[in-house]
Amino acid sequence: MSSEPPRQRLPFEPATNRKKTPKKPPEPQANAALESDSADKQPKANKTGKQAQSIPEAVSKRMISRIAVFCGIPTIMGISTFFISYLVVSNGLFDLPNTAVLLVSMGCFGLGVLGLSYGVLSASWDEEISGSTLGWEEFNTNFGRMREAWRAAKPKS
């Protein structure tokens, strides 16, 4: 029904959504000994499975650097608002209402929170592609992926 081409799966994206399996009651000791022997003979795919689903280091570093810029700058501005307003008021340059200082600092901290989310979503999630400087195209792509995951996880009524 949708005219969009099917999107490619990311290397660290799970192939399917796994449902939680109900917990089994504990089994007697005899069965546990047999299972431990058979578990030793099987290859341990647990680590490779988790590593395959983890975020690659290049993508992680890209996300961290974008978070530092898009979240760090507004947060530093929010903190510096208090110092600058103190200097303005203490030197008698002009009178600042407390609510103005509060609203400006809250606005900067709010931008920092938005920058945190934008930093993660604007990074290219592909290891080989670094993405653009501001990351608007990557943000649209990654936000679309996130919306798809939300819709897929939404219970069907």
> Torsion-angle region of residue 131: left (phi > 0), alpha (psi -120 to 50) or beta?
left
Cβ burial of 72 (10 Å; 0-12, 13-18, 19+) is: middle
User: What confidence score (pLDDT) does residue 79 get?
Assistant: 96
- At 80 the three-state DSSP class reads helix
Do residues 139 and 118 lie in contact, with contact meaning Cβ atoms separated by under 8 Å? yes
Do residues 129 and 146 lie in contact, with contact meaning Cβ atoms separated by under 8 Å? no
Interval 105-133 mean pLDDT? 92
What pLDDT, in 10s, does the model give residues 128-154?
888 888 889 999 999 999 999 899 888
Q: What are the backbone angles phi and psi of residue 55, rounded to the nearest 5°?
A: -75, 130
What is the full DSSP assignment across 98-118?
HHHHHHHHHHHHHHHHHHHHH
User: What confidence score (pLDDT) does residue 41 get?
Assistant: 46
Q: Which two tokens stand for residue 74?
A: 């507004």
Separation of alpha carbons 82 and 71, rounded Å: 18
User: What confidence score (pLDDT) does residue 37 get?
Assistant: 47
